[in-house]
Amino acid sequence: MEKRLRVDPVACAGHGACAELLPELITLDEWGYPIVADQPVPHGLQREARRAVAGCPALALALARVA
Amino acid sequence: MTDSLTLQHLPMAAGNPPSGLPGLGLPRLLPGSGTVPVDLRAHLAEHGPLRPAGGRNGLLHEVAAAGLTGRGGAAFPVARKLAAAAQARPAPVVAGNGAEGEPASSKDRSLLWISPHLVLDGLQLAAVAAGSRSAVLYVPRSERLHGRLAGAIAERAAAGMDAASVELVTAPDRFLAGEESALVSRLAGGPALPAYRPVRGLPRLAPGRTALVQNVETLAHLALIARYGATWFREAGTEAEPGTMLTTPHLADGRISVTEVPLGASVAGLLGLDGIQGPAEAGTAGPWVPSAFGPVQAVLVGGYHGAWLPAAAAAALPLANAALRPLGAAVGAGVLAALPADRCGLAETARVARYLALESAGQCGPCFNGLPRIAAAVAHLAGPRPDPRARADLERWAGLVAGRGACHHPDGSVRFIRSALRVFAAEAGLHEQGRCSGTDPRPFLPVPTGSPATEEDWT
Amino acid sequence: MTGITSSTALWYASRATGVVTLLLLTTVVLLGILVNRQGRLPGLPGFAVTGLHRNISLLAVVFLAIHVVTAIVDPYVTIGLAAAVLPFASAYKPFWLGLGAISLDLVAALILTSLARARMSRRAWRSIHWLGYAAWPLAVLHSIGSSADARSGLTLGVLVACVLATATALAWRLSRAAREIPRAGRAAAALNRMSARKAGL
């Protein structure tokens, strides 16, 4: 049971907080929108990932359980 | 967009019979005479009343055996969707999708105009499968069509034919109006904007309520399968892709029609292509293929989210996903456009790319930022001596845009544009030298003018 | 110590924490506007604006609680427990305290919905959060009317500063919002910018 980060592209307004809080997995494209690494969130980064999810002002980032 | 609500049967080019299946009883969805709308009396005289034997389970079994897939472009197995709807609690609202946002396609509005009762029968069957008592028919903005359908619905209601009530809902004139989640947004009372759907399954209409959405052509096939059975349905088409489908061929002389063919029919037959290649003349973009309606350089398969194929390659193909997918194309909604040899393929692509960019819902950053830039780059490549960086920029943006929207608009648009860059590579080479093989500047593909600007344009 | 002296201490505590609460609420509103417009604080990363907005709002709740409790417990003025949340239920200056009670109710709604944000629809959360623009002016009016403090000296200065800062920030927010391209026009605007650039304009 792995966890993956998902961005709701409609809710996302390009605040960029997620990339600041989790640069290991999230970068911003040339327009300020997040590019999420296509890999499960490693255990060592799970707490940071939850902080990034909580830190999004638009609630656009989610941590999803993927079988 | 064709404004005609009539249809013409494509005269088959001499020597090109429909692919190898005589006596199939085509057409199925459209009356043999062609353009006269079928009223309720004629419909019942031709097909008899709708009395699905075996109730809901019998219907589901027959549809599964028939192997019917969605005719809206995605080709999703209908039996699976109906089964999911049958299990949903509460019963989903059933919606027939006739919005047809694709400007190059006319099949849905033609079907609704000519054979509304097949669609309405299918809608009732879908409601039976879903266990629902309410249905919606989502239709393009046309007073005439609306009037005709309202009349048909009222006639059936008066005859007590329909167990589920049918409401008519108008779709805005947008490319994305027929996107499944956009339809559902519209049904919920808002604008027809696609929604983010992280979980697959029936789309959510409201908290605790889902919707079963089927293309109107799919519903029409459903109405026939319920009467004549799965075996009959499979008499046409291929083993993997059974049945017939409505296509919208655009011939090289500019004529557009709606034609029903079995799946696996030859593309050459539909477009009147003669498989023999013409010589690559000096200054032309590449080899062209003669057709009964003029020489053809390339064929657009599927629609504006589809793919270009070189004419010679297309002429050898059957209209079936099994043959098209390996070449990066798909049957889609059945659009087949034969681009005449005297047009500039890049200019055509640029016009469509601009339209696709303007039709972005403007909700997702990568889409409303990337598609306009990509469209501008294609327009640049369609001009003389383009900046060499334009191509690299385009590729970068295409990579940034695909898969990062809520719906498939960016993905489909990128597929279309990338296929154009492949197929019209020789043309691009000419443009770099300041030349162009196009001698006819008239636009070929139908692209609506104007651009949406306000919320109202999406409602 | 006599009762009057301890009462005076409670009364002072209530007034002081009231002023601090108003200051903190003003800061929260300013930061909220900054978050909405994706603004930055110099020297701080972007996520800090959101973080400060949230943390300072919680700090404001703490001071608000002390402000209310000290006012109720203080025997010098009669303010029942109910008056903290029920508008106009106080015996002492019912109208002005009532405004404070409404403001508190709204702040409570904002805080509670924000803590439970993941459990509600985005639209519902946003609608309730807009009430912040009602909670703040009610707090200001409550401050002016509840005691003579705000009419002179340092407290008046603080009040004026809060009102000026918020008015400026609001004006800025509204002007930015008025110039923002609506969703339906975003792609067309981007396309026009591209064409203008290519034409060398």
The average pLDDT across B279-286 equals: 50
pLDDT digits (tens, 9 = 90+) for B5-37: 334 443 332 222 333 333 457 889 988 766 789
C181 CB neighbours in chain A (<8 A) are none
Question: pLDDT digit string (tens) for B419-444?
Answer: 999 999 999 999 999 999 999 999 99
Residue B404 touches partner A, C-beta closer than 8 Å: yes
3-state secondary structure of B94: strand
pLDDT reported for residue C198: 64
Q: Is the dihedral of CA C188, C193, C194, C200 positive or negative?
A: positive
**Alpha-carbon gap, residue C123 to B195, rounded angstroms:** 14
Mean pLDDT of B47-75: 91
- Residues forming a β-bridge with B261: B245
CB atoms within 10 A of CB B154: 11
> Could you read off the pLDDT of B298-318 as tens digits, one per residue?
999 999 999 999 999 999 999
CB-closest option in B354, B357, B458 to C184: B458
Task: State the pLDDT at residue B24.
Answer: 55
Residues A40, A41, A44, A48, Cα dihedral to 10° = 180
> Which residue in C153, C114, C158, C154 sits closest to C140, CA to CA?
C158
How many Å apart are CA B12 and CA B107, to the nearest integer? Answer: 18
Q: How far is C38 from chain B (nearest CA, A)?
A: 15
Q: How far apart are CA B46 and CA C156, in angstroms?
A: 87
Which amino acid does the sequence have at B458? Answer: W
**How distant is the Cα of A60 from the closest Cα of chain B, in angstroms?**
11
Nearest to B153 by CA among B108, B107, B181, B116: B116
**ipTM confidence score:** 0.96
Q: Output DSSP code: residue B91.
A: P
What three-state secondary structure class fits B77?
A: strand
Q: Mean pLDDT, to the nearest integer, of B149-159? A: 96
Structural domain spans, chain C: 3-198
Q: What is the pLDDT of residue B279?
A: 60
Backbone angles phi, psi at B236, to 5 degrees: -110, 160
For the cut 60, the answer to whether the pLDDT of residue B273 exceeds it is yes
Q: Residue B353: its pLDDT value, please?
A: 98
pLDDT of residue B286: 60
User: Searching chain C, which residue's CA lies closest to the CA of residue B355?
Assistant: C188
- Mean pLDDT over each residue of chain B, to the nearest integer: 91
pLDDT tops 50 at residue C48? yes
Structural domains of chain B, with CATH:
40-233 (3.40.50.11540), 244-340 (3.10.20.600), 345-458 (1.20.1440.230)
Q: Give the model confidence (pLDDT) of C51-88 as tens digits.
A: 999 999 999 999 999 999 999 888 888 888 888 888 88
Q: How far is A45 from chain B (nearest CA, A)?
A: 23
pLDDT exceeding 90 applies to what percent of chain C? 69
Which percentage of chain B shows pLDDT scores above 70? 91
Q: Is B190 exposed, middle or buried (0-12, 13-18, 19+ CB in 10 A)?
A: middle
Chains in contact with A via at least 3 Cβ–Cβ pairs below 8 Å:
B, C
- pLDDT attached to residue B53: 67
Q: Which residues of C touch A20 (CB under 8 A)?
A: 45-47
User: What are the E-state strand segments in B119-170?
Assistant: 134-139, 165-170
Chains in contact with B, where contact means 3 or more Cβ–Cβ distances below 8 Å, are: A, C
Domain A2-66: CATH architecture, name and number where available: 2-Layer Sandwich (3.30)
Residue percentage of chain B with pLDDT more than 90: 84
Task: Select the more confidently predicted residue: B285 or A61.
Answer: A61
Chain B residues in contact with A19 by the CB 8 A cut-off are: none
| Residue of B453 and B234 predicted with greater confidence | B234
**Residues B366-384: tens digit of each pLDDT:** 999 999 999 999 999 999 9
Handedness of CA B128, B134, B137, B143 (dihedral sign): positive
Q: CA of C10 to nearest chain B CA: how many angstroms apart?
A: 49
Considering only residues B454 and C113, tell me which one the structure prediction assigns the higher pLDDT: C113
Say yes or no to pLDDT of B276 above 80: no
Q: How far is CA B419 from CA B296, B326, B346, in A?
A: 17, 13, 11
Q: Side chain identity at A20, as an amino acid letter?
A: E
Residue of A nearest to C48 (CA): A17
How confident is the model over B351-364, as a mean pLDDT?
97
Of A14-28, B146-160, B278-292, C167-181, give the lowest mean pLDDT range. B278-292
Kindly state whether C194 is in contact with chain B, defined as any CB-CB distance less than 8 angstroms. Answer: yes
CA atoms within 13 A on the CB side of B90: 10
- Contacts (Cβ under 8 Å, ≥6 apart) of B415: B305, B306, B307, B328
Asked if C183 and B455 come within 8 Å (Cβ–Cβ), the reply is: yes
- Give the model's pLDDT for residue C6: 67
